Amino acid sequence: MQKKRMEDLIKTEMRQLMALLVVAALCAASCQRGKQPEIVKEGKRLTVVTSLFPLFDFARNVGKEKAEVLLLLPPGVEPHSFEPKPGDIARLNTADIFIYTSPSMEPWVRNILKGVDANRLMVVEAGRDVPLISEAEGSRHQMHSNSHHDSGGADPHIWLDLGNAAKMVDFIMEAFAGADPENRAFYKTNAEGYKAKLSLLDMSFKDGLSACGKDVFINGGHFAFGYLARRYNLKYLSAYGFSPDAEPSPRGLVILTDTMKKKGLRYIFHEELIEPRVAETIGKETGAALLRLHGGHNITKDELARNVSFLSLMEKNLENLRKGLECR
């Protein structure tokens, strides 16, 4: 009987000890959580998903080794025809931050965000507060259809104005710093360094396009380069309208062809990831050669493998614009 009482006493003491250990462990974990940033734990990199290539490149330059940055848009896919899949939602549900341009540029974001945990995913609209070129403003330089873009009559390609690109970098930096406040200085330094590169490139555009034989360029694709044209005081015509589904009208093509001839333009531009059939048609009619003008929306698998950057794409754009506009 005494032996059994001793065993019961030992068991009771063991249960009490185990309970104390559990309480101590919970307390330690709670105290440790209180010392950590809201999202980033010690030794963990930010997981960031971006919608389009410019945002991907901005984010990886701000985050560097402290962030894993992923591009939601598969390489080679034209962004206006992109349709998110369940796997894309799953990817967002494991990320810390999701960055997109605006509802105007990526209207599909509204639906994809319905399937994610809004309490844990930081969603960043990098293009907020950037005034859009209206369809009415753009149409003063257009000879195209009556269709409307999903943007509600506004041009959403804001990153092609390098001043807007710098604003987007600031929004991305603030998001990184909010998720990982202990490394705010790191992100800010990276953002300022990248904005300095944008500023130098902007100066190169202004200098390089200041003395040209032509002041108008024609794109055989969609109306994507209005911000670039406006920033550098150029005139700009495109075969398609604001809508990604728009088709050029026969009358519009005649006007573009006549403009090419009257202005003596020896080059016509075409976009990335889209068959340049319209540019080729106008080129054959006018004898103009084709040059690519990259909108930066997305890149190919080969370009991704070669680590092509937004800055390098824009540098090539400047080179082609100088050739097409016959700059000195």
Would you kindly state where each structural domain of the chain is located, as residue ranges? 46-127+135-202, 211-324
Give the pLDDT band (50/70/90) at residue 10. very low
CATH of 211-324, one of 3.50.50.60, 3.20.20.80, 2.60.40.1180, 3.40.50.1980: 3.40.50.1980
Contact 240/246 with Cβ under 8 angstroms? yes
Question: Considering only CA atoms, which of 58, 38, 54, 34 is closest in space to residue 46?
Answer: 38
Taking the C-alpha atoms of residue 72 and residue 101, their distance in angstroms, rounded to an integer, is 13
- Tell me the sheet residues that pair with 48: 69, 97
Q: What percent of the chain has pLDDT over 70?
A: 80
Tokens read off for 13: 């003491």
DSSP 50: E
The answer on pLDDT for 286 being more than 50 is yes
Taking the C-alpha atoms of residue 37 and residue 263, their distance in angstroms, rounded to an integer, is 59
Question: Considering only CA atoms, which of 218, 247, 252 is closest in space to residue 234?
Answer: 218
Per residue in 97-149, pLDDT tens?
A: 999 999 999 999 999 999 999 889 999 999 999 999 876 565 444 444 333 34
At the topology level, CATH places domain 46-127+135-202 in Rossmann fold (3.40.50)
The two most distant CA atoms of the chain are separated, in Å, by 114
* Mean pLDDT, rounded, for 272-301: 95
Question: Considering only CA atoms, which of 65, 92, 73, 97 is closest in space to residue 174?
Answer: 97
Note whether 46-127+135-202 and 211-324 share their fold: yes
List, in order, residues 6 or more apart from 115 with CB less than 8 Å away: 89, 92, 93
